[in-house]
């Protein structure tokens, strides 16, 4: 591990730790996420399922909500972790949620609890995304 990996390691550790708190009695698939704000602070989130299935929320959504509630507006890095065979990519809705507060080149690390990981960016996860310019008719 290089010195450059240290902040990322911290983000992934936060995602790994919060995953333990995930409420996933229906899918039994616990997910942990963490986003870093422009301040450098880390905001963790986990999935919170509901017996009315569509009411469940993803780990990424929880992390973003905490960042916004804490007064920040910019996501500078993202980590997601699950106990899966291959790193789990954020769902379509979470890609759009991340894109709202991140840049195209914002790094995203997807990891498994067994140590596999994959690095991508918010832009690569959501090419051709809907943005405010699409509502501009002038």
Catalytic residues: 60
Q: Which listed range, 66-74, 89-97, 114-122, 125-133, lies at the site for ligand THU (CB under 6 A)?
A: 89-97
Q: Judged by CB under 6 A, does residue 35 bind ligand THU?
A: no
Query: H-helix or E-strand containing 79?
Result: strand 75-82
d(CA 13, CA 1): 14
Residue found by looking up tokens 């990424």 in the block: 60
Q: Is 87 in the site for ligand THU (CB under 6 A)?
A: no
CA distances from 38 to 54, 77, 122 (A): 31, 9, 16
Residue 31 vs 122, nearer CB to ligand THU:
31
Q: What is the nearest approach in angstroms of ligand THU to the Cβ of residue 11?
A: 15
Is position 60 an interface residue for ligand THU (rule: CB under 6 A)? Answer: yes
- What is the closest distance, in whole angstroms, from the C-beta atom of residue 114 to ligand THU in the complex? 17
Cα–Cα distance for residue pair 33/9, rounded to 1 Å: 13
Residue 14 exposed, middle or buried by CB count within 10 Å (0-12, 13-18, 19+): buried
With a CB cutoff of 8 Å and minimum separation 6, the contacts of 87 are 80, 110, 111, 112, 116, 117, 118
CB of 137 to ligand THU, least distance (A): 34
Token output for 2: 């290089």
* Contacting residue, 6, 9, 29, 38, with ligand THU by CB under 6 A: 29
Note whether 78 binds ligand THU by CB under 6 A. no
Interface residue with ligand THU among 7, 56, 107, 123 (CB under 6 A) is 56
Which residues of this protein are in contact with ligand THU, per CB under 6 A? 24, 27, 29, 31, 47, 49, 56, 58-60, 80, 88, 90-91, 94
């Amino acid at each position: 591990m290089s010195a450059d990996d240290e902040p990322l390691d911290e983000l992934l550790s936060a995602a790994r730790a919060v995953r333990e708190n995930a409420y996933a009695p229906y899918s039994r698939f616990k997910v942990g996420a963490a986003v870093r704000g422009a301040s450098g602070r880390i905001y963790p989130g986990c999935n919170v399922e509901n017996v009315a299935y569509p009411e469940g929320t993803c780990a990424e959504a929880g992390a973003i909500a905490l960042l916004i509630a804490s007064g920040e507006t910019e996501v500078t890095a993202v980590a997601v972790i699950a106990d899966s065979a291959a790193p789990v990519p954020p769902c379509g809705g979470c890609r759009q949620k991340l894109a709202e507060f991140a840049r195209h080149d914002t790094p995203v690390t997807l990891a498994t609890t067994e140590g596999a990981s994959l690095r991508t960016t918010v832009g690569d996860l959501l090419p051709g995304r809907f943005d405010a310019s699409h509502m501009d008719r002038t």
